[in-house]
Chains A and B, each alone.
Chain A
């Protein structure tokens, strides 16, 4: 019976090609738009570290007073000053503490015919690698001792290792950077979580993988300036590194790992107590104002998902809705036009459910055709996302089996929903009335 209905459906489609084609095309466009933008939205808003995102926290301390909050939506700076970062590091409450700032160094190959290469990365504390689950190809992170001494250990990225050492195990080798010689402690395997959650206040969230990691204290000792953003008071007039370090300018991203709720509560009160202490010793002349956000809240607060991506998803859903309403109208017209056929079939003894089945199959065929075309369009639109979105955002979306499945499923489900009312109307057609009118 099904094959017969399928055959009928195909015949009916071929009878009114333009309208059927229009329906299928609109359907495909609606589906492709929705699936593409959904894939994009879920890729950019994906949790970068699902296994421990509720244990990683960012403390914020308002160190510039209520006036500075006006331009910050009433929030403290997203980063800390060096003195606050150091003070928080001295606290042992957290099981992991990562102080981070971006650096831009360069490596000079010994062969003078090769131009120096840029080595971008971060100055970090040793805990960084464990907290953010950084994978290593060779070696591992430097020790806590290196952290405190500001030793010359360094972790480099796979690409830089490829460029400088042809991908060999370079542990223990020396690497001159900016006039200082470093000893390679580890080579990172490819690691580039997107968005770059650990430093969203610096890059716009999506970049190429970092290639050098220096011990935080070492970078501070060498007075390596940050390559990222610095939040200062309006009209900050400091001169040089020493002023910056003593100033209320904030430029260090700081993370803590807190194993359970008790630890979170304790850390919160520690943070408030610290701010109050700063008030007591005269540094702040306002009530302590602090925040402690976990990774998820942090990404939402920092608006990592571009507005454009959200708008495009909403627009695509609207498009799908309009296409659905359109299909309902066209199917209704199509089925009612065949009122006489239905009348004859009913008069010859077909039951209502048989009419249901026949027309649902026909709608399903349209849905399936729309779905297949939709998959094709989805492939094209994901390929050409970079026409509309920045390359670094477009690059993180790929077409895979689940996207394909989603497209086909969405098409069939929406087609059946769209068909429900027209099919019901078709099945209600009174055989007698139709035969008489004909």
Chain B
């Protein structure tokens, strides 16, 4: 079947307004949808990055002490809480920290240097303050080296967290610090203090959700944390017990001591819930952009159908004439589809330029990165396919028209 390109193109010049409107609509749709798919892709990757811990069994308690406790009192009360938690049926292990993976927007940032006098650190990282129970609590795999011993862990608080004790680092950080060799036993510097790496663990997400470039460079520092104001208790339930444990934790803690605040609404939450909240903005944007993209594509498809139906109706007699002169049904079908293809192609060309322009503007105003060409190609293919599908029904109606009927009936 050969497609009469020249006649189609010259016929299009007879419908400048219609052609222009469809092409414009396609161009705008491409510009928006290509950028939207790009943003969706980025956010989905970001949202679905693994935390590296035993997510489904972890429950977090936000415990606040009541009364101005001294450091010693806070220490004793935290120790009593943790001892109770570790004995509680259904609880596998627990420890106290100031944060947990993907907890929120803020975190402490450490610069890790290989040399004591280095100007800028070799890598940034975010610390956890952990005791010897943290690995078992998170269910993190020790890849090399060993866990902290109980006597290596020193008492401290958020205001007093300095120690010269050993550290455990993630695999990602180990690779960054020592790409070619094992990092075990090496001495690195944190704020000028020498720290020995005694263990390397599987990758574990850092506390701050906004972290992008060093999201898996966590450091475990041996501090038995107890703040006068209270801390987060990270609790790991035995398999299948998470929901039961989540519901019973507050009552169990209040029975140890009433002098605390555990918020009735969000004092005890499963890790899943907390993570969902931490990434809620990203999820919202993904939903919003997906819905908008689908509506846009449907609108464009609707517009194409409307105009094609009109053009087919308008050219009933011409179509009848061609059929009477020997054109086959497939010729008519091919003609309409090819016409549609050319219009959309035109729109796609304009739209590609527009998509880059929109992307440049977004890069300038909204901290976006450069739009890869693949997304435009993907969007273009999508729109060309959509155009063909939309034109198919009117085109088949045109092809089914009998030459008799078409030449006889005027309108």
**A residues near B284, Cβ cutoff 8 Å:** 308, 387-390
Chain A residue at minimum C-beta to C-beta distance from B291: A388
With an 8 Å Cβ cutoff, the count of chain B residues facing the other chain is 63
Which B residues between 55 and 69 are near A, CB-CB below 8 angstroms? 64, 66-68
Are A237 and B229 within 8 A (Cβ)?
Answer: no
Task: Say what secondary structure dominates the interface of chain B.
Answer: helix
Does B179 interact with chain A (Cβ within 8 Å)?
no
* CA distance in complex: A388, B292 (Å): 12
Residue-wise, chain B 283-303 has the 8 Å CB interface mask toward A (1 for contact) of 011011100100110011011
Let me know if A307 and B25 touch, CB within 8 A: no
With contacts A118-B64, A234-B109 known, is A225 near B300, CB below 8 A? Answer: no
B78 → chain A closest CB, angstroms: 16
Task: Output the least CB separation between A66 and chain B (Å).
Answer: 13
List the B side residues contacting A322 at CB < 8 Å: 25, 28-29, 32, 296, 299-300
Q: Are B310 and A337 in contact (CB under 8 A)?
A: yes
Chain B residues, CB < 8 A from A19: 306, 309
Interface check A349, CB cutoff 8 A: no
Whether B17 and A332, one on each chain, are in contact in the complex, defined by CB atoms closer than 8 angstroms, is yes
Rounded to whole angstroms, the CA-CA distance of A311 and B358 in the bound complex is 12
B288 touches A235 (CB 8 A): no
Complex CA distance for A180 and B229, rounded to whole angstroms: 15
The answer on a CB contact under 8 Å between B292 and A179 is: no
The answer for the CA separation of A272 and B178 in the assembled complex, in Å, is: 45
* Partner among B68, B229, B303, B411 whose Cβ is within 8 Å of the Cβ of A179: B68
Chain A, 312-328, contact with B by CB distance < 8 Å: what is the 0/1 string? Answer: 10111011011101101
Q: Is A310 an interface residue (CB 8 A)?
A: yes
B259 and chain A: residue at smallest CB distance: A116
B64 touches A104 (CB 8 A): yes
The answer to whether the Cβ of A433 comes within 8 Å of any Cβ in the partner chain is no
Asked if B132 is at the interface (CB within 8 A of a chain A CB), the reply is no
- A22 & B66 in contact (Cβ 8 Å cutoff): no
**Chain B 6-37 against A: per-residue CB contact (8 Å), 1 yes, 0 no?**
00000000000110011011001101100010
Say if the beta carbon of B155 comes within 8 Å of chain A. Answer: no
Across the two chains, which residue of chain B brings its CB closest to A71?
B109
Contact flag A235-B258 (CB < 8 Å), given A307-B366, A336-B310, A438-B410 = no
Q: What secondary structure prevails in chain A residues at the interface with B?
A: helix
- Which of A6-14, A50-58, A209-217, A239-247 interfaces with chain B? A239-247
Cross-chain contact B160 with A112 (CB below 8 angstroms) = no
Tier of interface size on chain A: 35 or more
Asked whether, in the complex, the Cβ of B17 is within 8 Å of the Cβ of A421, the reply is yes
Residue of B17, B110, B303 near A330 (CB, 8 A) is B303
Return chain B residues, CB-CB under 8 Å to A337.
310, 313-314
Min CB distance B296 to A, Å, is 6
| A388, B159: Cα distance in complex, Å | 37
Cβ-based interface call for A157 (8 A): no
In the assembled complex, the CB of B375 is this many whole angstroms from the nearest CB of chain A, namely: 16
Interface membership of A143, Cβ < 8 A: no
Task: Say whether B17 contacts A240, CB under 8 Å.
Answer: no
Minimum CB–CB distance for B230 against chain A, Å: 9
Known A-B contacts A116-B261, A329-B307, A333-B18; the reply to A234 vs B110 at CB < 8 A is yes
Q: Does residue A207 face the partner (Cβ distance < 8 Å to B)?
A: no
Which A residues are in CB contact (< 8 Å) with B362? 311, 314
Instruction: Kindly provide the distance from the CB of A294 to the nearest chain B CB, expressed in whole angstroms.
Output: 22
Q: Mark A407-437, 1 if CB is under 8 A from B, else 0.
A: 0000000000000010001000000000001
A86 interfacial by beta-carbon distance below 8 Å: no
- B67 and A333 form a contact (CB under 8 A): no
From B258, B285, B296, A319 is in contact (CB under 8 Å) with B296
Q: Is A108 an interface residue (CB 8 A)?
A: yes
Chain A hits for B287, CB < 8 A: 387-388
Contacts A311-B39, A333-B310; is A239 near B281 (CB within 8 Å)? no
Give every chain B residue within 8 A of A323 (Cβ-Cβ). Answer: 299
6 A-B pairs, CB-CB below 8 angstroms? A115-B261, A178-B68, A316-B292, A319-B296, A322-B300, A333-B18
Known: A29-B299, A108-B259; 9 extra A-B contacts, CB below 8 A, are: A106-B64, A235-B111, A307-B367, A312-B285, A318-B32, A319-B299, A332-B17, A389-B281, A438-B410
Instruction: Report B's interface with A, CB cutoff 8 A.
Output: 17-18, 21-22, 24-25, 28-29, 31-32, 36, 39, 64, 66-68, 105-106, 109-111, 121, 159-160, 162, 190-193, 228-229, 254, 258-261, 263, 280-281, 284-285, 287-289, 292, 295-296, 299-300, 302-303, 306-307, 309-310, 313-314, 362, 365-367, 410-411
Complex A-B, nearest 9 residue pairs according to Cβ-Cβ distance, in ascending order: A235-B191, A333-B310, A329-B21, A388-B284, A326-B303, A106-B66, A318-B32, A237-B162, A179-B68
Residues on A lying within 8 angstroms of B by beta carbon are 19, 22, 26, 29, 33, 104, 106, 108, 112, 115-118, 178-180, 204, 222, 225, 227, 229, 234-241, 243-244, 306-308, 310-312, 314-316, 318-319, 321-323, 325-326, 328-330, 332-334, 336-337, 340, 387-390, 421, 425, 437-438
